[in-house]
Every structure is written in C-alpha cells, then in structure tokens.
Amino acid sequence: MKKQFEVAIAKVDKDNKIVEGVVYRPSKVFDKDGKPTDHIDTQGDWMTEDDVKKACHNFTKKMAITKGQVVDKAHNEKAGYGHVVENYIAKVDIPDIGVKVGDWVAAIEVTDEKTWKEITKGDITGFSIGGRAVYEK
C-alpha cells in the first residue's frame, strides 16, 4: 500500500512569522521490485534516506553560496520571501510537528507580507522542493 505524503506546514509562529514542518520524507520500505510501499510525494516521486540527506545538504550549501537567498514561492526561482532559520535531518521523531527520524525539516521566517497573509489565510499550506532527478527503470 502506497501512502502519499503531503508536506504541510505543521507549525505557525505568528509572533515571529515562522513556519515549520517536514520538507521531505524519505521512503524506507520497498517491495521486491524496489518500489516504495510507505511514502511517495504528491508528484508520485520518492527518495531514499540517502537521497533526502544529500538534497538537504545541497540546499544548505546553496544557502551559503547565495548568502541565504533561497526561499522562493511556487517555484518562481525568485528569492526574497523569507529566510531559512532551521534546516536539518531529524535524528529523532518530533511528534508535535509530525516529524519522523530521517525527515528533512525546515523552519522559514517569512519576510514578505503578502506571502505571510497567504499563509495565515490558508492559501499556502506547505513546502515544496524543486530539483532535477534521474529516473531509472
């Protein structure tokens, strides 16, 4: 049974305009053909724990190179909507925000007022990573 996993914002700190949640959950259980039986993303794709860790680390490197200018909106590739204030691979479960060991987790301080209003209204409800992948058959 495959379970689709949505990367919803799990916690909203209204005083500090920070949103927090799982960026990506790795697939850990596979069938005999190597297909995940636990988690796939909303696009029908999946990544192993190693892949998720690499993506998180590459994102951290990108933050260093771009001096933190990495938070875009709806994959428009235009930074300036906020700052990543936490970015890590969970070493333990964090039940109050729905995190499991191995999840990529982030907290974003939202600096764009229009975007903050969209979050508080419920128009923006989660995180989404962009990237390129090589599909193997």
**pLDDT per residue over 28-68, tens digit each?**
999 999 999 998 888 888 999 999 999 999 999 988 898 87
CA distances from 46 to 50, 89, 101, 134 (A): 12, 16, 16, 12
Burial class (CB in 10 A: 0-12, 13-18, 19+), 77: exposed
Tens digit of pLDDT for each residue in 78-121?
A: 888 999 999 999 999 999 999 999 999 999 999 999 999 999 99
- Residue 72 structure tokens: 């875009």
DSSP H or E stretch at residue 19:
strand 18-24
- Nearest CA to 71 out of 80, 62, 63 is that of 80
SS3 105: strand
46 vs 43: CA distance, rounded Å: 9
The length of the chain, given as a count of residues: 137
Number of separate domains in the chain: 1
The answer as to whether 58 is a domain residue is yes
CA dihedral 83, 132, 27, 38 (to 10 degrees): 100
The answer as to whether 95 is a domain residue is yes
DSSP-H helix ranges across 9-122: 49-65, 113-121
The answer as to whether 134 is a domain residue is no
For the segment 4-21, the average pLDDT, to the nearest whole number, is 86
**Which range marks the domain in which residue 11 is found?**
7-26+48-121
The answer as to whether 35 is a domain residue is no
pLDDT score, position 44: 84
